[in-house]
Chain A
């Protein structure tokens, strides 16, 4: 059972570089989410999507972009990487609003 799959698991970027964090789920969930987790903190919502073609900002969207062209995929893009974006990024999905979210194993991103 794959569930939510994130790639890559680790990445080091230089300041100003761009990259896309991939997330795919095979549970046919409509809702998908991107969070960042900083040391000693809970998860902060970056962006979410309620279905293909629909995305919305979360609590900390600045510096990020998302797209949702299919139900399965929800990539997160960093256009101009900054040291403040060093974090662990988690993707999650849920079948509907208010239902428990299922998480991937995260992408550990360092920007130097």
Chain B
């Protein structure tokens, strides 16, 4: 089945630093979504991308839909303590057995540097 490779698996941030994470796939996706999950809660949508090359911002978050439609990245600028959590990418296709369903990456865990 389709798979998403999300990296890095985990990272430590210091307040004020910029953060970058990405997802890649061998398959083409029609939609890329970025979610954040806090402990004990469900994923919350951060940014949705619908067109190749699209660059969208939501406050300090910026995400891009790769030109090849096989990748996406998420940047967080000037990180703050409440940015810690797990970030998931998800892709959706319009074809094949999983048509219309979301495929999730394994997540990037953001923690605060000790």
Spell out A's residues near B (CB within 8 Å): 4, 33, 40-45, 48, 58-59, 90, 92, 97-98, 100-106
Contact assessment for A105 and B45 in the assembled complex, using a CB-CB cutoff below 8 Å: no
Q: A101 to B43: give the CA distance in the assembly, Å.
A: 9
Would A97 and B48 count as touching, CB distance under 8 A?
no
Chain B residues within 8 Å of A, Cβ to Cβ: 1, 4, 6, 30-31, 33, 35, 40-45, 48, 88, 90, 92, 94, 98-102, 104-107
Say whether chain A's binding surface is mostly helix, strand, loop, or mixed: loop
Number of A-B residue pairs, CB cutoff 8 Å, is: 54
| Additional A-B contacts beyond A58-B101, A103-B35 (13; CB < 8 A) | A4-B42, A41-B107, A45-B98, A48-B101, A90-B42, A98-B30, A98-B92, A98-B94, A100-B45, A101-B102, A105-B41, A105-B42, A106-B41
Given A98-B30, A98-B31, A98-B94: A42 and B105 within 8 A (CB)? yes
